[in-house]
Structure 1
Amino acid sequence: MNLQLHIGSKTLDKNKWKSMCPQGSFLSLPFNLAFEQHHKSNIKHLYYVADDKENKAIGYAQEFNIQGDKICDYQRKNMERRSLINLILKLLNLKVVALGNGLLTNISNFSSFKLSNNIDFFNSLLLLIQKNLSADKFIIPDHFFKELKVEKPNEVFPELIKVVVDQDMHLKISKDWNTFEDYTKALKKKYRSRLKSVMKKSENIEIKVLTQTELVKHAEKMQELFDNVHQKSAFGISPFNTSIYTDLIDSDNPKCQVFAYFLADEMIAFSSELKDDNNLYSYFIGLDYRYNKSHRLYERILNETIKSAISNKKSNLILGRTAAEFKSNVGAQPIRSEIFVYLKSPILRRLLRPILENIQPGNWIQRNPFKEII
């Protein structure tokens, strides 16, 4: 199998990549180069290409560090406590390779046109990365195996550890919603009143789509707002540099927009969106928590994102994995999500397997805000 790995894009045959990249894909080279350009110090960016008569595939991956205390934070969030192991975990600094984008966890970064043997391809890819990076810890998202057409990966590859992670929250956009008002009318009275309250409390906020010049102007503030949210995250894998938006908004596939929320000329929040043909993805946000309750900031961002999905005539709105119950208030439904962990060391595998396999998303109440099932 002619399988090549490139650490960074310098040695990558960019014309070949473009010719193999599906139209409208998140594998778009300018899109991934933006992540490489703005996250150099904390992430290694990997591009792999299989190109021979029997195999045609491309993919993007990352190598980064996960602090053991972040795993502990995620355990505590999900009520999984093991005091002795937690103490050991806090001492660990794990260098891992993710077969995907750690800053875009619910979107596939792998595309296969044809593979002579899917299992051989996966084994060859792991061996190639291990050889070139001395990597021995991998995170493989479920969407990688879906693209690879491998069902029940942990049964096909017994050394994998299956981890059930927070559900991805999706809102199906009804064909009957031509405007945000149509969405509002579809809500039950209780939730319609709540929405009106959110809009009333945030009516003094001005929302603006940021240009590249404005992104540069507000760069420092945006990073501060994002860091506020990141610090509250139970399992933020890697720091995100908001300067990337200056390049992402120039990308056509996917299309990116950044919205700033101003109160009396002060930016108190921002939100960002990624769009492909059928879907709108809610991307990173930033908040000044001093105004979150008084102006219902987070809820206003959710409403504006729904409004954007409707006006852009998308079929689905993907809202991500955080604040599931909150998002169910606006009609989002949970989609089960899993990752698979490979640890080469039998000792570390034995230590972490019971912890990782016992992690379950926290309990929450699914709300049903619509008069009828959408």
Structure 2
Amino acid sequence: MENITFKIYSTIATLPENWDEVAASNHFLQTPYLQVLEDSAPTNMECFYLGIFEKDNLVGVLLSQYLDLNKLKSFGERDIYIKRIVRNFIFKNFASHVLFLGNNMITGQNAYALSKEIEHECLSKLLIDCSNSLILYFKNKGVKIHIVSFKDFYKQNATLFKKNDFKNLYEFNAQPNMIFNLNENWKSKEGYVAAFTKKYRDQYKRAHKKYNGVIEKELSLEDVSLFEDRINELYHYVAKNAPFNTFFLADNHFSTFKEQCRNRFKIFGYFLNDKLVGFHTLLLNGEVLETYFLGYDEEVQKNNMLYLNMLYNMTEFGIENNFKKIIFGRTALEIKSSIGAEPVYMSGFILHTNSFLNKYIGKIFQKLEPDLEWNQRHPFK
């Protein structure tokens, strides 16, 4: 550990030249994506980029995000009124300044990338030290960080972190990440559909029949710029009806993403009678396809089973482009399982900087976490 140090950067322009080489294993720790965050982060978010050095050599990169929840008008409007009021009061007064070590905008293990192995004993201490430095940075600006969250670790990494400097942190498992490990024998959508049981093959046929009249089109950068107001309108409808939100995307987010990341970011529009009625987005991350934000017109969604057809289209894109798995994220668990995704539980770690409140962080967190009841579907023979 004596040879391992870190440095905090607040702008992409100041990053070391070999940053992208070190971040080679994850496109969403590389500078094109980080530039998206810098140019179009949510209005209540501030991003930091941390370089991990062994002596003078950059051997790791880390993303951190600060969220000011005081700037949000709503945390989500789907939960019952009383629960929403209580949750909003607690967040505004005791948890409004949140520091994430990791990416709060993408589901999965995207906090850091390393060009050489660093033992978890060292890495866990390093993450704690990084968070303490950022807490001090904000303290010097007159901002008190309330909550620190170390976000999204797969079970093996979480277990190793827990044995070291994370042992006194509260470990939580939020809603599972729905992941679809694609069968390598599927070469086209026909192979995928043939693997369904009759019940789910009938569901596929019924959804496509309802889909009649909706036209899907991949959008170019020019298209995204042209339709951006409508894209944002559709996005906000879905986002506001989620059970919980800590941010809302900037109005220029999708066009900025497309401009910076080009073919690594795909956005597909859905048109009915020449009107944009829905969209979904995909992140191409090596052999992994990651779903991102989407939006839709509620009436078209109901009448044309638009969301389910989006899920099928994402899956078929993954199969036809030889991806090994698709990350579907944490929402709509049951319907995602009906198309083949399976739940993978990931761990996060959280602490409150108030030592008294931190004693009860587990009980508080459980009260604030949205209720979850769902039945996993098993669609294949």
Q: Shared fold by TM > 0.5?
A: yes
* 1:91-240 pair list within 5 angstroms: 91-92=93-94, 94-112=96-114, 113-115=116-118, 117-134=122-139, 135-143=145-153, 151=160, 153=162, 156-240=165-249
> Which residue identity lines up with residue 97 of structure 1 in the other structure?
L
Structure 1 residue 101: deviation in Å? 1.7
After TM superposition, the score normalised by the length of structure 1 is 0.87
Three-state SS of the structure 2 residue aligned to 1:249 is helix
Q: Structure 2: which amino acid aligns with 1:220?
A: D
Instruction: Give 1:323's aligned residue.
Output: 332
Return closer, same or farther for 1:368/1:207 CA change in 2, 3 Å cut-off. same
Partner residue in 1 for 2:142: none
Q: 2:52 matched to which residue of 1?
A: 50
Alignment of 1:1-374 (within 5 A): 1-10=4-13, 12-39=14-41, 41-53=43-55, 56-66=59-69, 88-89=90-91, 91-92=93-94, 94-112=96-114, 113-115=116-118, 117-134=122-139, 135-143=145-153, 151=160, 153=162, 156-241=165-250, 243-251=252-260, 255-357=264-366, 359=369, 362-371=372-381
Once the two structures are TM-superposed, the CA of residue 277 in structure 1 deviates from its matched residue by 2.1
Deviation at 1:141, TM superposition (A): 1.2
Query: Structure 1 pair 69/363, CA: closer, same or farther in 2 (3 Å)?
Result: farther
Check conservation: 2:49, 2:61, Cα contact below 8 A.
yes
User: 2: distance between equivalents of 1:85 and 1:25?
Assistant: 35
Superposed displacement of residue 257, structure 1: 0.4
> What is the alpha-carbon distance in structure 2 between the residues aligned to residue 72 and residue 218 of structure 1?
25
Contact 2:35/2:260 (<8 A) preserved = no
Distance 1:243 1:109 in 2: 24
* Aligned partners of 1:26 and 1:109 also within 8 Å: no
Say how many residue pairs are matched.
Answer: 366
Secondary structure class of the residue paired with 1:334: strand
- The 8 Å contact of residues 103 and 151 in structure 2, kept in 1 or not, is answered as no
Contact 2:218 2:268 (C-alpha < 8 Å) held by counterparts? yes
Whether contact under 8 Å (2:26, 2:113) holds in the other structure is no
Deviation at 1:24, TM superposition (A): 4.9
Change (3 A) 1:350 1:102: same
Q: What's the secondary structure of 1:187's corresponding residue?
A: coil
Q: Note if contact 1:62-1:102 (Cα within 8 Å) is conserved in structure 2.
A: yes
Write the deviation string for residues 266-294 of structure 1: whole angstroms up to 9, x where unpaired.
00000000112211111110011011110
Q: Secondary structure at the match of 1:174?
A: coil
The DSSP-based 3-state class of the residue aligned with 2:27 is coil
State percent identity of aligned pairs: 21
- Whole-Å separation in 1 of the counterparts to 2:222 and 2:308: 28
C-alpha spacing 1:94/1:145, structure 2 compared with 1 (3 Å): farther
CA apart distance, 1:131:
1.6
- Cα drift, residue 19 of structure 1: 3.9
Residues 56, 115 of structure 1: 8 Å contact kept: no
Structure 2: stretches of 5+ with no match in the other structure: 140-144
Name the CA distance, whole Å, in 1 between partners of 2:27 and 2:155: 17
Offset, 1:244: 2.4
Residues 127-151 of structure 1 show CA distances to partners (whole Å, capped at 9, x for unaligned) of: 211121223521111329966x762
C-alpha distance in structure 2 between counterparts of 1:272 and 1:233, whole Å: 17
Which consecutive residues of structure 1, in runs of 5 or more, have no partner in the other structure? none
Decide whether the 8 Å contact of 1:72 with 1:90 is kept in 2: no
Could you say what secondary structure the match of 1:283 adopts?
Answer: strand
Question: In the aligned structure 2, how far is the partner of 1:329 from the partner of 1:123?
Answer: 39
Deviates more, 1:171-180 or 1:51-60: 51-60
Deviates more, 1:126-135 or 1:349-358: 349-358
Contact 2:283-2:289 within 8 A present in 1 as well: yes
Name the CA shift for 1:206/1:55 in 2 (closer, same or farther; >3 Å): closer
Letter of the 1:60 partner, please give it: L
Which of 39-48 and 208-217 deviates more? 39-48
Looking at structure 2, the residues matched to 59 and 337 of structure 1 have their Cα atoms a distance apart, in angstroms, of 19
Q: 1:46 to 1:239 in 2, by over 3 A?
A: same
